Structures are given as C-alpha cells and as structure tokens.
Amino acid sequence: MSQPPFSQKFPDVVVAGLGETGPQPADGRSIAEMVLAAVQAALADAGLGYDDIDAVVTASVDLFDGLTASNIAVTEVVGAVMKPETRIDGDGLAAALHAACQIRAGAYGVVLVVAHAKPSMADFQNLSEWALDPIYLQPLGLDFLACAGLQASAMAAADPAAPERWAETAARRLNAADGLAEPCTAAQVLESALVATPLRAGMCAPLADGACAVLLRAGGPGPRITGLGHDLDAHLPGDRDPAAWPGLSRALARALKGAGSAVSDRVFDLAEPSCFYAHEEELFVGATGLGPDTEISPCGGLFGGAVPVAAGLTRLQAAAQRLRADPDCRRALVHGSWGPAGQGQVVAILEAGP
C-alpha cells in the first residue's frame, strides 16, 4: 500500500503571522532592534504574544554579522529565553522548512522563524570570500560575486545574446520594485559598470539591511506550506555544471512529492525566486520548468533590496501576502539559495487556505 502524501499524513503548516523591517540600504538600527521590530509585527499580524510561541528557529551567519554565535545577539528579542531554539547557518527559507518539519512532527504547535542580515556594516562580497574553500579558492580571490560572474560567463559563452536578456530582466524587476525616481531601461543596465564579466552592476540586486519574521502554526486559517525540499550541491563551483541549477530541480521534485503532486505537475500561479543576479532568473526557470502562465516576482523580487540570509524568507512573506490578498492566486512556489553560485537550494510550495 502506498504511503499517503506528506501533507496529509501530518498537521497542516499554516503561515499565521508576517513581519519585516523592509529592505533598506543602511538601517540605522542595531541587528537586535531590527529583529525586534520584525518579530513584533509578525506577532501582531497573527494576534499572538511571546507566550504563545513554543519554539524559535533563526537564520544568521556569524561571518556576515561579525559575531561568534550570532543568534545569541537576538535571543531575547525573538523570545527564545528558556525555550527551544535552532539556528540555521543558511537561507531563511531553510529555517522556515526546519520549523515546518517540527510542526509536522507534532513537536510544537507555534514556531517563530526569524532571519536577518546587515551588509551595510561591512563589505559583504569581501566577507563572502571567507565562505569559500581556504586551500583552493580563497588564494584566487574568489567571492560570491566572482562565482556568479563565472556562472554567467559560462551561460553567455553558450548563448551570446544572454546578457541582453538579463539587462531586460533587471530593468523589469527594478521598475517593478518601489522607490525608483525614473524608469530603468535595459540600455542603462548594459551601460552600468562591469563588476564580474559579463555581469554589470545593474544586473545585480542591490544589497540591503533587513530582518524578516514569520510565525508558523499547526492548522488554522491562512496560506499553507504543503511541500518542501532542499538540496546541497558540490561546494567547489568547478565540480558542478556551471550553467545550471540541478540542485533546484531535485529540491522541487522532493517538494512536489511531499505535497502529493506528480513530479510533472509544475503549475503555479506565482513564483518568488531568490535571484541576486538577473541571470539567476533564467537558471530558476530552467531548473523548475515553469511555464509562461506563472507570474514571477511581480513586485520586483530581490531587486527591491536583497537581504542576504533573509532573502528566501522575504520571498515566503511576499508569496503569503499575495495568497492572502488575491483570490485568483491559489498556489505559489517560493525559493531560497545560499553559497557560491547557488550551492544550496531550498523550495516551499504554498497553497491558499480554505
């Protein structure tokens, strides 16, 4: 006898509360102050208090915060004193999936998920060099931006017209995001500074400070996480296909299976990918097999402000808000990634509540 779908075997995981500070180029608040504001907003949105939280899952990276055990800096403001807490050293969406598994296992009824980053405190790309292999890669001066450039270079070598498409994608996402005084054009993107051949500055989502908090609970009204999956590819970029995200394909297959869907069932009304660079949107579409009927990042995605570590959780928040507000949007695919050139991949399938 076949096993019932994962989503039917365990309690529904509902997105009950949403809160974030909003991406800002340089937030004058401390990390703890940013996180507190996001948590308070999520609690108010869910109509809950700190006493209602059973456990906490946070996402942060010591290297980027300049701290040892960076989650300790926010223990009090996330309400984790004398409560179970897990810290995920990766994307915030991975933290949300960890929390979802805790709820599905019946361990907790309400779990708070929080992610934060403050790249304005230090040069993020320089710090990212230290996240790479110390023997073979660090001596070359590689960082996350250089790895993205190598990836884009491999794609452009196979398709010389690709950079023009990326410029169009970047302009479209920037125009969809809030805060632009004048519309951006693809020509302007192509004229921006070359930062990692063939990537131009305009093809890179602007880094931002921010904190994001999401309350998950077992059952109740609201969007549900019905499928989840993650994958970790080889750390060395040279050991992977430079122009593809096979890890994302594997993660999505697991999420679809967990949601009780056929692996070929890739029908989504909305997709919110974590694309720090314009060329990554092509990688995302290629790996997921999404069709033209899926709306991708209608509000600009990370081009409205990319908060490292918290990026995937902000995409979960954007998708949940859309599912709440738009009755025609019933199913969404949320994506997060981390590491050099998308080494880590994580996805969640969200469906509108009854």
- How would you write the chain as a 3-class SS string? CCCCCHHHHCCCEEEEEEEECCCECCCCCCHHHHHHHHHHHHHHHHCCCHHHCCEEEEECCHHHHCCCCHHHHHCCCCCCCCCCEEEECCCHHHHHHHHHHHHHCCCCCEEEEEEEECHHHCCHHHHHHHHCCCCCCHHHCCCHHHHHHHHHHHHHHHCCCHHHHHHHHHHHHHHHCCCCCCCCCHHHHHHCCEEECCEEHHHECCECEEEEEEEEEECCCCCEEEEEEEEECCCCHHHCCCCCCHHHHHHHHHHHHHCCCCCCCCCCCEEECCCCEHHHHHHHHHHHCCCCCCEECCCCHHHHCECCCCHHHHHHHHHHHHHHHCCCCCEEEEEEEECCCCCEEEEEEEECCC
pLDDT score at 246:
96
Q: Shortest CA distance to 37 belongs to which of 208, 216, 214, 212?
A: 212
pLDDT score at 9:
65
Q: What is the distance between the alpha carbons of residues 113 and 9, in angstroms, rounded to a whole number?
A: 23
Tokens of 89: 């050293």
Q: What is the distance between the alpha carbons of residues 50 and 40, in angstroms, rounded to a whole number?
A: 9
Round the CA-based radius of gyration of the chain to a whole number and report it: 19
Length of the chain, in residues: 354
pLDDT score at 11:
86
Tokens of 327: 């009755």
- CA 70-140-341 angle, to 5 degrees, is 60
Virtual torsion, Cα 9, 13, 14, 20, nearest 10 deg: -160
Q: What amino acid is encoded at 266 in this protein? A: R
pLDDT averages per 10-residue partition of the chain, 354 residues: 52 96 95 98 98 98 91 96 96 98 96 97 93 92 96 97 98 86 91 98 97 97 96 91 94 93 82 98 97 95 97 98 97 97 97 89
Sort 272 into a burial class: Cβ within 10 Å, 0-12 / 13-18 / 19+.
buried
- CA 313-347-150 angle, to 5 degrees, is 90
Q: Which positions ≥6 away from 58 have C-beta within 8 Å?
A: 71, 74, 78, 80, 85, 86, 87, 88, 95, 113, 114, 115
Tokens of 158: 């196979």
pLDDT score at 347:
98
φ/ψ of 84, rounded to 5, equals -65, 130
Tokens of 265: 């069932």
pLDDT score at 33:
98
